[in-house]
Chains A and B, each alone.
Chain A
Amino acid sequence: MTTFLKLLFRNRLAALGAVVLGAIVLLALVTPLLPLADPDVTATGDRFMRPFTEGHLLGTDHLGRDLLSRLLWGTRLSLAVGIAAALVAGTIGSAIGIVAGYFGGRIDNVIMRGVDMLMAFPYILLALAIVAALGPGLLNALIAVAAVNIPFFARNIRGVTVGLAGREFIDAARLAGMGHGRIILTELLPNVASTIVIAMSTTVGWMILETAGLSFLGLGSQPPVADLGSMLGEARAALITNPHTSVVPGVMIFLIVMSINLLGDGVRDALDPRLRSGALTRPRAVTLVDRKGQVPEADQKGLLNIQSLETQFHVGPRIFRAVNEVSLHLNPGEALGIIGESGSGKSVTALSVMGLVASPPGVITGGAVRYAGEDLLSADYRSLRQKRGNNVAYIFQDPLSTLHPLYRVGDQLTEAIQAHHAVPDATARARAVELLKDVRIPNAEARVRDYPHQLSGGMRQRVGIAMALANDPDVIIADEPTTALDVTVQAQILALLDDLRRDRGLAIIFITHDFGVVGQLCDRVAVMYGGRIVEEGPTATILSHPAHPYTKKLMACVPELGGGKRELAAIPGLPPVVSDLPPGCAFAPRCDKATEACRVGEIGFTGSDTHRVRCIHPEEVLA
């Protein structure tokens, strides 16, 4: 509760709303005690006096009545009627909702049908019909406004109750022999009370506005008593000659509604955990680059060259060092594997290449990514966009969420082509069919018209691959392309990628957590842990002679087919949280060879250019 209030008041607008509303409510409460003129005494000689005249701070209306006094009394009345309507609607609506939600079945069905019928009306129409039947008057307006808001409460509270009614404590109460009435009052009501209160406080602004509206139409409060709405309605006749009589009540309604809205927004935001975590921020078109140190010199290695890359996530005061001093290069036609557990930074490394790390919260804080010698991190959006998909293409993990659900796969393919080549639609479409055939999708001519949800998982991933191939890129970065698929489909997809690589001379970066996949596809492999590369070398060498204890353990996790009954090794402990990395080797806490020396200072690479390892006690001493 205190954190809630703190959050609420950290929001300056909500605090402003609370202050304004508090002041208005206070004024309304003390109105009878203030030395004000009688609001209903007419003095036609003093009609339409301007604001700030002697004795009439806000002037007088068309009957010479003091506007300040009428305003305060009117505010009092409007607030009272609005709050009363909210209470009535809230009570009756909640009762209906609880009954429907608790009993369920037929009762629920009948009640909710009725509620749906009521909601089929434009709301004021219903209010007008009720006022028409009962006759104009403030009490009838209150009843009408409360009545049209009952469905809103009934529906909300029913939803909450349905969720609660199936819970164990309700069953327990029933088994204990409690009657329905008692269960509802003692077990259910306390649990839905907070929802009811929140719903009431967010709708009270509406209720005030709606009753004011009915009064404005002359259907609510009747002369001489006036709420804000009827003040405004009466003033309308003199709008052109004496606008102040309209402005005074109008501004007051505006202030009340706005302060309630501000407060309501504040409450909603404070209750929404996603806002606190910053999860509702939109990622920009390109990852933010904010390099602290020097940009590393170009060293002419490979077609794609990642040098000392550092990528971080800035979430509130916490900094997650997802990628730390990662250097990798990829030669034309080569397949490089990046392997590691979830959270090791392998995907973030891959996404950093084309500036696709979600930002905020992602920031690239150091290093360089060179494609054919050009630093992509200092490239502008235009040139980066031209390379995306055209020179470096991506295949992502889960093709159901990575393909657009509302576009036909053919359209998504032609779009990829037309993003880089100004070709006519027909040409692009023909090429899309070609691409689907290339990735061995049967009946490609018909499949282009399908939506992603109409395809199987394997087919969707083939579409993802076809899309990556659309512009004949030099480099494909495949981020766990087979993880979401079952084993047989997985093998097919891997074989397909391998064929495509050989046919087209593609260079592939293959991100995975599966050594089996690496062994099948990759020429070289880099092992990542805690945002760093801990070992890198030719696949055959690493598979036969792993040097880092982590690599060895990771390999032991892979079950061998036909390997008989052997205990599968799991690595004890959890991967490190990259916001709080210990000094020294990040793997030390889980490593059985670790010594004091492993826990201090920076541990550099040993070994050669072809096989290097970041470890003081390697399994194999590298030459």
Chain B
Amino acid sequence: MPPQTLVVDNGSYTIKSGFASENATLDDCRLIPNCLARSRDRRVLVASQLETCRDFGGMMFRRPVEKGYLVNWEAEKEIWDLTFLDKESPLACQPQSTNLLLTEAPNAPVSLQNNTDQMVFEEYEFSSYLRCVAPSLIPWNHIPSLFDPSTTPTPSPPLPAEAALIIDTGFSHTHIVPTFSGQPYNTAIRRLDIGGKFLTNYLKELVSMRTWNMMDETHIMNTVKETTCFVSSNFSRDLERCKRLSPSDNPIVRDYVLPDYNTGKLGFAREHVARKSGPAGGDGDDEQVMVLSNERFCVPELLFNPSDIGVKQAGLAEGVMQSLEMVPDQLKPALLANIVIVGGNANIPGLKERFEADLRPMAPTEAVVRVAVPEDPVKAAWTGGVRYTGSADFRRRLVTRVEYMEHGLHWAQRKMAGEDPVAGGELKETSAERDRRENRSHKKRRMD
């Protein structure tokens, strides 16, 4: 096994990627925009080229990951080529002498998994490769220290948390994944089709209807969402405030000064400043100000009440209870006491507190409910993945390119899923297979 291992958390908004090492820190993980973007002047920017861009006005995006699943390899290849094969990229590597740990979203269609495996082995020719579900990497982080900072991480070899309920709320959707010993409990995985993109678009729609037309300004609205939105701890009180109080008395109201790309000024949020009347604002400066009040908390509220705009799904807290219905009773308390929220939306202020407050009354009274957000919820799957690469379980499941060429795609996928392929490429008999074979022989006997 080559010494170098590349850990790639291939998200729909960013690729979280870096090389695994014994003492890797968060800084070793790079965020690469997982998109092709076209600017106003019709230049196409690929992945990290986006960082060089100064004018995000009217920017259009093409994302290879659709609804959280890697669909369009034509675009993804362009991004991967630039990120992993370009000599000047900080993540440049020789795939032939590198192991790859790649993540996917839970419940991915098999055809997409096949495409990914074939591209990794046949186009990139990685030396060995393991594909796994992203939330299943979180328990490899040291979960107890999230709840009690005084505990210290276990020395190597790393072991996963015995039970952890992962809420992965990302760009395209939110997954609730109970895990035991780092293995997702598949029948209990629940999805909520609200993610960061949905929230951004909702904010964009609200603002466009009420103040400025921002329908083409997805990138700006994403920044506005990240800087101003919060989850309300008392929704009806805050809604009432926004209705009754004048903007100058209302602590919720914020101004967002829109960026001016002609002069290169960046956008920023500030406390509300009452403006003099008049078409130009009267101040002499020409800054364009977007006033936000109840939009600030109505938008992230969708994560808790998707029915507010007609999405017929349960919110976060209710979704967790639905997921727990499928788990054996004895294990529910362990999951409730070890809830970890990861993904970009976990950065929204107030989300953890509100989630705890919503879940507490639904959970059994005697159960302990503990919720934690890792230091960097976006990179949590990556850091977990790095620790995972040092484990025996990783080495057991890893499929080498030679094995893939010799035994084929399905053998490789079963090895990655943790089944034991014995020497000679014969798969250990699963019970279903044995049944099928026995039925066949039985039938033969009867025909005789």
Report whether chain A binds chain B.
Answer: no
Which residues of A does B touch, CB under 8 Å? none
Which residues of B does A touch, CB under 8 Å? none
